[in-house]
Amino acid sequence: MKTVVVFLVFEIIFKCTFAKDYSSSLAQANIYYQRPIRLGNSKEVPMLDVEMFSERTNIKLIIHGYLGNRGHSAIVPVRNGTDNIFMADWERAASHGYPTSRGLVLEVAMRFAKIVSEFMKKNEIDPNEMHLIGHSLGAHIVGNIGRYFNGTFGRITGLDPALPLFVPQSADGLRPDDAKFVDVIHTDHPVFGDITPRGKADFYPNYGRAPQPGCTNEDLRTLTSCSHYRAVQLYAESIGIPRNFPAFSCSLPEIVLNNVEKCRREATFNTTVMMGEYIEQTRAIGQYFLITNAAPPFGLGDNSEIYRNLNYVQEPPPLK
């Protein structure tokens, strides 16, 4: 019954949203190539203006969330790790009232999907080389882009997918089959972040709840939510420190009920994976729990009880 009510409320909001014309906001949404500094001039170039794009592997598209832009501090840390970085910017559409911006998720995704499609055809990009990363509303946007390509992209990463005005059955919400592999990090339930498993592998640092360690005062003092941005910080740290976030398998009900001790005792190498950029995609499936520090470095790495008990010595894939 509650789910039906939520759907009805959203339907009313959605209809009110599109009683207005937001085409000008959508028209300004674009994707930019972050030309590496080592190549000299590091200026940004719109995706469709990129010439002689020779590096056709490990391509990342990063999409911000509500009230953000491509230079927002909440998403910029993820830009490290590869030369082939593209940053989406939908600032105008993301700056309306939240119900409006949330209602524009599918429209923004379709605009970006068409830009990406043209770029891929022009440069003969293999869909398997595409890795889309989205924060908050951006996590749902990357999911819709993935569906536009029938789930053929290599990977999608959702960083604390937005909760407000989404339910598990939302047609435009992030889904496990939006790419060949979908991983999600949850850090801000029940405030701005969704707790619903939306990937093939879902991670719940510190139970996936607000406040995250070190965020108690900040979450109370601001509306931007330190805990909501923590997912981005954790993922960004994993790029530079690949083995810093060992997580063990644990069902969502056990995590929600704070009943993770049994999962911890039963953890084995096969039920433990490293969260973040270098996740072992062939082994990661289901829900995972881990504890983090309150400040950088957030990952416990070698100091993790799980790490020590399992003698987890497998090397991560080489940096590309």
Active centre residues (catalytic): 136, 160, 228
Distance of CA 179 to the CA centre of its chain: 13
193 residue type, one letter: G
CA separation for the pair 156, 148 (Å, rounded): 13
Tokens (6 digits) for 173: 């919400």
Residues facing 63 on adjacent strands: 88, 134
Both tokens assigned to 62:
């990063």
**CA–CA distance, 29 with 145 (Å, rounded to integer):** 14
Contact status, residue 192 vs residue 198, Cβ threshold 8 Å: no
β-sheet bridge partners, residue 246 = 274
Residue 22 makes CB contacts below 8 A (sequence gap 6+) with 93, 96, 100, 104, 107
The amino acid at residue 318 is P
